[in-house]
Every structure is written in structure tokens, then in C-alpha cells.
Amino acid sequence: MILLLGLILWTGMYALVAYFSWGKIVVHIKVYLLILYNAVYLTGVFLLFNFLVR
Amino acid sequence: MGSRMPGSADIYSYSIYLTAGLVPWIAFSNTIARSTSVFLDKRHLISKIKLSLPALIIYIILSETITFIITMMLFFVFLFCTGSHFKKNILLIPFVYYLQQLFAFGFGLLTATLTVFIRDLREIVGIILQLWFWFTPIVYLRLILPDVVSSIMQYNPAYVIIESYHNIFLFNKDPNYGALIVMTILIHGMIFISYKVFRALEKDVRDFL
């Protein structure tokens, strides 16, 4: 339950940050930013599993 | 369907091992193979309409995802019928698949861009995928490999992903989270480079087509 809640919360945070960042920045740097956010998001997901499932 | 794995009493263990590795590999290799020639295949569209070129690869990823989901649903039905049990880490499947398809996106974007200038790259990528398939333990076990080959297997990115599926579906073990995190960073680095190359060559790609 905690894992599921953590995943939903983390995904929601990622979606919000990515959405607002994509909307605010006009130049193509936003793609590089999205790559960075995505890397942080997936790393967070694997860390979450590592600490809550193991 | 009744082949056993060494050390396993379950008569379906090899079927599960094979399917758990083969289904993600098909999605992965199809995405790369189709992406490599997508700019050439869709040149009639690209030359007429101003459309985002990476979106063509995303479209391929989505179509492969639909096939993957349908196949996985059938696989889950089989697993439930054979009485397989899962741990909480079954929730990890979408994320491992996401990582795998990000890898295919980065690789595909780079090869799609370069194929416009080097047409033979399409055939080269096909051969690389064939060799890569046989170098990854999908139809065989890592145990049967000689020590030298087995020790370099951990550097095969496809192995890290396929091993995660095997651990979740068959061995009920946690995947190697450390390796997955390293893979995440490397794959995003590759996407960064692929996008940089694409941006640098985008104008030439459109002119060439």
C-alpha cells in the first residue's frame, strides 16, 4: 500500500513538474530538461522499490 | 510447454523463462528495427508536412506497446492458470518496460538520423540485433556460458533488462536495482547524445529526404 501510494505520489510530482516546465519554456532546451526529469523520476522509482520491497 | 529448467520442479518453468524474455525482446528489437528506417519510409510525409521527426519514433513505441500489453495479458492468464505466485515487485514491470523502450528510443533516434546519410545502416542494425539476441540469455541460461563470456554479460544492457523480467516472473526475486539505476543514467545519457546529434543534423535530414 505504501509502495503504491509512493509510486502515485512520485509519478504525480513528475507529471506536474514536467507539464509546467514544458509549458513555461519555449526553446528546445525543454527537451533536455525533460530527459533530466525523466532520469530523476526513473531513478526515484527504482530507489523506492529498493527500499520498500526488499 | 513442459520443458523444465535445471533445478526447478515446475514443468512450465522453461516456458515462463522463454516468454518472459522473448516478449520484451521482440518489443525492443522491433522498435529499433522499425525506427532505423522510419525517416526513409515516411519521406513522402516528411517532405510535404512540417512534422516532428522524433514523434514518428514515439508512434512506433506506442504501437509496439499495444502489442506488448496484449501479449503480456495472455501471458498473465497462462501464469494464473498454472498457479504462479508473484511478489510486490510485479509492479515494476511497467517501469522496466519504460526503461527498455527509452533505450530503444535513444538507439532508434540515432540510427534513424544516420540511416538517412548511410543507407546500409539499416542492414547493419538488423545484423547487430540478430547477434545481440543470441548474446543475451533469452532462449538459454547464463549458467551454460563459459566463465569468460558470463563475466562480460553484466555489461550487456539488454541482459540487465531481460534478467529483471526473469527475476520478477520466474525466480520471484528482486531485480538488481543498482544495475537498473546505472542503466537509467546511461540510457538518458544516450538519449541526450542522440537528440543532440539529431538537432545538429535535422535540417540536413529534411533536405536529404
Share of chain B above pLDDT 90, in %: 67
Which residue among A32, A43, A54 places its CB closest to the CB of B174? A54
* 3-state DSSP percent of chain A in helix, strand and coil, to 5: 85, 0, 15
Q: Is the pLDDT of residue B194 over 70?
A: yes
For residue B3, being part of any structural domain is answered with: no
What value does the mean pLDDT take over residues B55-73? 95
What value does the mean pLDDT take over residues B189-199? 95
Torsion of CA A36, A41, A47, A51, to 10 degrees: 150
For residue B201, being part of any structural domain is answered with: yes
**pLDDT for res B207:** 86
- Cα(B61)–Cα(B24) distance, integer angstroms: 12
Q: Which residues of chain B does A31 touch, with a Cβ-Cβ cutoff of 8 Å?
A: 195
A31-35, B30-34, B67-71 — which is least confidently predicted?
Answer: A31-35
* ipTM value > 0.90: no
**Mean pLDDT of all residues belonging to chain B:** 91
Q: Find the domain containing B26 and state its range.
A: 13-208
What value does the mean pLDDT take over residues B188-204? 94
Q: Is the pLDDT of residue B61 over 80?
A: yes
**pLDDT for res B126:** 95
**Residues B109, B54 contacting (CB under 8 angstroms):** yes
User: Per CB distance under 8 Å, which residues of B are interface residues toward A?
Assistant: 87-89, 91-92, 95, 98-99, 102, 174, 177, 180-181, 184-185, 188, 191-192, 195, 199
Share of chain B above pLDDT 70, in %: 96
pLDDT band at B186 (very low <50, low <70, confident <90, very high): very high
Domain count, chain A: 1
DSSP string, B83-122: T----GGGGGHHHHHHHHHHHHHHHHHHHHHHHTT-TTHH
- Cα(B87)–Cα(A3) distance, integer angstroms: 12
**pLDDT for res B180:** 94
For residue B51, being part of any structural domain is answered with: yes
For residue B88, being part of any structural domain is answered with: yes
Domain count, chain B: 1
For residue B81, being part of any structural domain is answered with: yes
pLDDT band at A27 (very low <50, low <70, confident <90, very high): confident
pTM of the model as a whole: 0.91
Query: For residue range B122-154, what is the model confidence (pLDDT) as tens digits?
Result: 999 999 999 999 999 999 988 888 888 888 888
Supply the DSSP symbol for B137: S
**pLDDT for res B7:** 65
